[in-house]
């Protein structure tokens, strides 16, 4: 039994697969480099600190004022606010699903949480704008109910399913010996959960929060429809603002390719990507430290 050419065929397949995998993954680096290149004049002419700390965005003036501080602040505020709301609910629901929910209820709740992740962000934005914003306008007698706060609420609803799914998985993966030991000691399940299980699962749970924060920072549609889109520096959670993704989405189409305005939008994009990466890195380091303690 001989098959001439088998080895050649196997090698062709092998190297095609390796090549394709490597090239595809380098796409990310290509994207980052491209954006860096398009935004380079901003960094070299205006400088990092001026760009990041300037709170006035009037790129079409002369002289143009290009500072994205308001957008950065809006991004952080809206995402941070979303996490503030989503964390207790998300953790509570995750603990509920992992430890306390009767299995029939859990069998309904889990697919529900799953389904929430599938609902497009534009639908959330739309419902938030049509219902929540209207509600604020009526209840508090405002001319416009849009605000960072409204955006945070909707963002929270959007990220809760991610927090729940990841946290529940983390809790479930805690070895059952701990549960048995706790129950044998006679403590309540609540006590056992909060004092033993959650601390053991904190790595996964924190990771879930990071993922959620990154997602909230990068979300476009919900904030586009709810945050108010003003270029002023927001002074409180209830002010309007314009997070970075909204800025890019709104102004990209009307900017002139190659102009300072265009380059500034790329610079804003780069800042957004770096912020998301930074958040991920920070918590990865934090998690590694927790790992060492254990």
Partner 1 sequence: MKQTMRDLLLMTWFWASGLLILMILLAIIIYLTGRGGTFISSEFILESPRGFPLGTEGGIFPAIKGTLWLILLALVISIVPGLLTAMYLSEYGRSGRLADFINLLVQSMAGVPSIITGLFVYALGVVTLGWGISLLAGGVALAIMVFPVIVVSSRNALQAVDENYRLVANSLGVAKSYTLFRIILPRAAPGILAGILLALGYAAGATAPIMVTAAAIIASSSGALFEPVMALPYHLYILFIEHISLNHAYATALVLVGLVLFLNILALSLNSLQERLNRQ
Partner 2 sequence: MKAVEIINFSTFYGQKQVLHNISMEFSSNSITAIIGPSGCGKTTLLRSINRTAEMESGFRSEGDIKVLGKSISEFKNLSILRRRVGMVYQTPVALPLSIMENVLFGPRYFGVKNRSDLEAITERCLRRVALWDEVKDRLKRPAAQLSGGQKQRLAIARALAVEPQVLLLDEPCSSLDPASTGMIEDLLMQLAQDISIIIVTHNLFQARRISHETAFILDGRLVEKSSTQKLFESPDQAETKGFVSGLFG
Query: In the window 3-22, what residues touch partner 2 (CB under 8 A)?
Result: 3-4, 6-7
User: How far is the C-alpha of 223 from the C-alpha of 176, rounded, in Å?
Assistant: 42
103: helix, strand or coil: helix
Residue 237 in contact with partner 1, rule: CB under 8 A: no
90 binds, among partner 2, partner 1, none (CB under 5 to 8 A by kind): partner 1
Q: What are the residues whose beta carbons fall under 8 Å from the beta carbon of 125, sequence distance 6 or more?
A: 154, 221, 222, 223, 224, 225, 226
How many residues sit close enough to partner 2 to count as binding (CB under 8 A)?
Answer: 6
Instruction: Compare residues 14 and 61 and give the one whose CB is closer to partner 1.
Output: 14
Binding of partner 1 at residue 241 (CB under 8 A)?
A: no
Binding partner of residue 23 among partner 2, partner 1, none, CB cut-off 5 to 8 Å per kind:
partner 1
**Binding at 199: pick from partner 1, partner 2, none (beta carbon under 5-8 Å per type):** none
Give the Cα separation of 277 and 108 in Å (integer).
35
Which residue do the tokens 């529940």 mark? 168
User: Smallest gap, in angstroms, from Cβ of residue 11 to partner 2?
Assistant: 12
Shortest CB 261 distance to partner 2, Å: 53
The DSSP code sequence of 105-149 is: HHHHHHHHHHHHHHS-HHHHHHHIIIIIIHHHHHHHT-S----HH
Q: What does the DSSP 8-state code read for residue 57?
A: E
User: 231 near 59, Cβ under 8 Å?
Assistant: no
Binding mask 125-144 for partner 1 (x = CB under 8 A): xxx-xxx-------------
**In contact, 122 and 148? CB cutoff 8 Å:** no
Q: How far is the CB of 49 from partner 1 (least distance, A)?
A: 23
Report the residue number, 10 or 138, with the smaller CB distance to partner 2. Answer: 10
| Segment lying near partner 1 (by CB under 8 A), choices 45-53, 57-65, 103-111, 137-145 | 103-111
| Binding of partner 2 by 1 (CB under 8 A) | yes
Contacts with partner 2 by CB under 8 A lie at: 1-4, 6-7
């Amino acid at each position: 039994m001989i098959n001439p050419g088998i080895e050649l065929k196997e090698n062709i397949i092998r190297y095609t697969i390796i090549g394709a995998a490597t090239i595809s993954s380098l796409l990310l680096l290509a994207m980052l480099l491209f954006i860096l290149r398009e935004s380079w004049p901003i960094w070299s002419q205006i400088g990092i600190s001026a760009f990041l700390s300037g709170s006035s965005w009037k790129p079409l003036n002369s002289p143009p004022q290009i500072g994205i501080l308001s957008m950065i602040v809006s991004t952080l505020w809206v995402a941070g606010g979303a996490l503030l709301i989503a964390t207790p609910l998300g953790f509570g629901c995750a603990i509920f699903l992992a430890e306390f929910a009767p299995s029939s209820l859990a069998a309904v709740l889990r697919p529900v949480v799953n389904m929430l992740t599938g609902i497009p962000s534009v639908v959330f934005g739309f419902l938030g704008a049509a219902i929540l914003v209207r509600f604020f306008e009526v209840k508090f007698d405002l001319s416009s109910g849009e605000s960072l706060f409204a955006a945070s609420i909707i963002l929270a609803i959007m990220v809760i399913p991610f927090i729940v799914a990841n946290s529940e998985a983390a809790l479930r993966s805690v070895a059952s010996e701990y549960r048995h030991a706790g129950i044998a000691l006679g403590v309540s399940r609540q006590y056992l959960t909060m004092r033993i299980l959650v601390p053991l699962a904190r790595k996964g749970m924190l990771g879930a929060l990071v993922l959620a924060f990154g997602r909230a920072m990068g979300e476009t549609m919900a904030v586009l429809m709810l945050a108010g889109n003003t270029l002023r520096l927001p002074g409180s959670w209830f002010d309007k603002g314009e997070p970075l993704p909204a800025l890019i989405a709104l102004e990209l189409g009307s900017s002139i390719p190659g102009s300072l305005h265009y380059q500034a939008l790329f610079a804003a994009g780069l800042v957004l990507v770096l912020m998301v990466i930074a958040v991920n890195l920070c918590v990865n380091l934090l998690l590694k430290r927790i790992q060492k303690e254990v």
